[in-house]
């Protein structure tokens, strides 16, 4: 009897994995059906399809539910596009839930996942702009939740594009500039400065990072200026305030 039970359990597990693999191979089609329903205004079906997609991913990544998905479960290079799609789906779900007051908890959970799958990613600026444009339309019933998500992208982000280009991720000048960013985020005007910096600097570094002239200017002008700023000017600014 024990052997029979074990054989049945193994067979059931093989069948489960086979079905899961089939669903995983069809996941993009499922997500596409969700997007089509969203475009048609069929929010109920869109939510169901997006949930189906995320649940397949959650099962493959062996986590309890879609809100337990984490970036460390994904290959940062091979699955970057998937991670970006997941972030967009969580945002679209948050927007749909936002239209129904009783689903406020779902809005918060989806936005939390959206921020997690956005901060420090190459598509961070794109996603940030997506939230900003949504808020600009003034259609949200819970604008504070989306404003908080927009801010959290920058709070959680460790990216300082130009500084990192000049000094690297772990240099003390880079860390000091991150402290300055955190200080700026404590003020509404500072939040706007950080937002514009991310848009400007990400485009600049992406476009000119391989340029001889940009590297030369960075070495001769930007890098020394950042060093002076971090050592002398920055401490004076924060001390006064």
**Is position 80 within any domain?**
no
Residues 50, 237: Cα–Cα separation, whole Å: 47
**Is position 183 within any domain?**
yes
**Is position 131 within any domain?**
no
**Is position 64 within any domain?**
no
**Is position 56 within any domain?**
no
Structural domain span for residue 187 = 160-241
DSSP labels, 38-55? HHTT-HHHHHHHHHHHHH
Question: Which DSSP category does 231 fall into?
Answer: I
**Is position 181 within any domain?**
yes
**Is position 96 within any domain?**
no
Report yes or no: 208 and 166 within 8 Å, Cβ to Cβ: no
| Number of structural domains in the chain | 1
Report yes or no: 73 and 117 within 8 Å, Cβ to Cβ: no
Q: Which pLDDT tens digits describe the chain residue by residue (241 residues)?
A: 455 667 877 877 788 888 889 999 999 999 999 999 999 999 999 999 999 999 999 999 999 999 999 999 999 889 999 999 999 999 999 999 998 888 999 999 999 999 999 998 988 888 988 998 899 887 888 899 999 898 888 777 766 778 887 888 788 888 888 788 778 877 878 877 877 777 777 667 767 777 888 888 888 888 888 888 888 887 877 665 5
Residues 83, 61: Cα–Cα separation, whole Å: 13
């Amino acid at each position: 009897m024990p052997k029979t039970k074990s054989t049945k359990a193994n067979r059931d597990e093989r069948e489960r994995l086979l079905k899961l693999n089939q669903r995983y191979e069809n996941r993009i089609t499922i997500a596409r059906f969700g997007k089509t329903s969203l475009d048609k205004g069929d929010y109920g079906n869109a939510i169901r399809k997006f949930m189906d997609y995320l649940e397949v991913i959650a099962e493959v990544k062996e986590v309890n539910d879609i809100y337990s998905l984490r970036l460390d479960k994904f290959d940062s290079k091979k699955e970057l596009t998937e991670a970006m799609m997941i972030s967009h789906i969580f945002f679209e779900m948050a927007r749909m839930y936002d239209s129904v007051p009783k689903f406020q908890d779902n809005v918060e959970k989806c936005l939390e996942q959206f921020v997690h799958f956005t901060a420090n990613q190459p598509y961070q600026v794109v996603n940030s702009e997506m939230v900003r444009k949504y808020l600009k339309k003034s259609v949200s019933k819970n604008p504070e939740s989306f404003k908080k998500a927009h801010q959290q992208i920058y709070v959680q982000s460790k990216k300082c594009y130009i500084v990192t280009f000049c000094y690297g991720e772990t240099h003390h000048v880079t860390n000091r500039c991150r402290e300055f960013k955190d200080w700026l985020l404590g003020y509404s005007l500072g939040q706007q400065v950080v937002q514009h910096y991310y848009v400007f600097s990400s485009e600049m570094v992406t476009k000119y990072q391989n340029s001889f002239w940009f590297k030369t200017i960075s070495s001769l002008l930007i890098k020394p200026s950042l060093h002076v700023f971090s050592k002398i000017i920055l401490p004076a600014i924060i001390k006064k305030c």
